[in-house]
């Protein structure tokens, strides 16, 4: 059985005052059966990890550099993030791919570095609305999966998050049939590349306008092992019900 996971991506939101909300979330999730991860801005990782000591909530990062160290002003290495208290890092999010022109090759390099530093790499894939309407969804996500995952990927090192770009922050959510089609296709691609045992251990998350009102329906879809949540992860009152919905689906 794959451990269920719900990860919250705070994106560029949150200052020290947000740590109170994180404490509320840690309290709300004290009996959670699923793995719970919050990825705040890097400025909060150390303090957030201290807030969540001895709780069910782990702390992750939102990106890392592909190099282990060096003259990269303003960047953070995976080792630095791990040292600050992070246990995982989101890589290849569509906003990074679009805003910073990140390629599959770069995402793969970052994932390799993250894994070497002891972080779980949460690698994002997803199609744009234009690509979906053109019937290219599976071609796009398979290509991103193939190009972004390191050859030594395993269930203990890598998580894959399917986030259709057109559903992120828009309130639009694919039908359960569409989610099932993509997750089934991703699993098949993993099996083809890594073999059944390894592929079946890699968790597949769904992300894109996940909230308490639709979480139960999404988590009932085959091959959905949890969620990568954006805006709804900023408040304990919004995020805790999603965690509960995932627990109930286990």
CB 143 within 8 A of CB 177: no
100 flagged as catalytic: no
* Distance, CA of 29 to CA of 16 (rounded, Å): 21
Active-site residue, selected from the candidate residues 93, 95, 183, 223: 93
Query: Which residues face 88 on adjacent strands?
Result: 60, 120
82 flagged as catalytic: no
Active-site residue, selected from the candidate residues 95, 102, 163, 223: 163
- Tell me the CB-side half-sphere exposure of residue 102, using CA atoms within 13 A: 27
Dmax (CA) for the chain in angstroms is 48
Q: What length is written for the chain?
A: 250
DSSP-derived secondary structure for 60-126:
EES---SSSSSS-TT---HHHHHHHT-SEEEES-HHHHHHS---HHHHHHHHHHHHHTTPEEEEEE-
What residues are labeled active site? Answer: 93, 163
């Amino acid at each position: 059985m794959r451990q269920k996971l719900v990860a919250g991506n705070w994106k560029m939101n949150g200052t020290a005052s947000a740590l109170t909300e994180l404490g509320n979330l840690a309290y709300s999730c004290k009996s959670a059966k699923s793995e719970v991860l919050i990825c705040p801005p890097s400025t909060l990782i150390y303090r957030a990890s201290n807030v969540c000591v001895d709780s069910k909530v782990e702390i992750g990062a939102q990106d890392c550099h592909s190099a282990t160290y060096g003259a990269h002003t303003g960047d953070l290495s995976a080792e630095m993030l791990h040292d600050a208290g992070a246990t995982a890092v989101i890589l290849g999010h569509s906003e990074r791919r679009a805003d910073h022109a990140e390629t599959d090759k770069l995402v793969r390099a970052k994932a390799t570095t993250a894994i070497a530093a002891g972080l779980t790499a949460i690698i994002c894939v997803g199609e744009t609305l234009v690509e979906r309407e053109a019937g290219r969804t599976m071609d796009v996500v398979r290509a991103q999966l193939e190009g972004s995952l390191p050859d030594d990927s395993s269930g203990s090192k890598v998580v894959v998050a399917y986030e259709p770009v057109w559903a992120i922050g828009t309130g639009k959510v694919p039908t359960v049939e569409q989610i099932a089609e993509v997750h089934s296709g991703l699993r098949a691609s993993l099996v083809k590349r890594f073999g059944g045992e390894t592929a079946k251990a890699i968790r597949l998350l769904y992300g894109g306008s996940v909230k308490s009102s639709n979480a139960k329906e999404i988590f009932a879809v085959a091959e959905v092992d949890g969620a990568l949540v954006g805006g709804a992860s900023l408040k304990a009152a919004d995020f805790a019900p999603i965690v509960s919905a995932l627990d109930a689906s286990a």
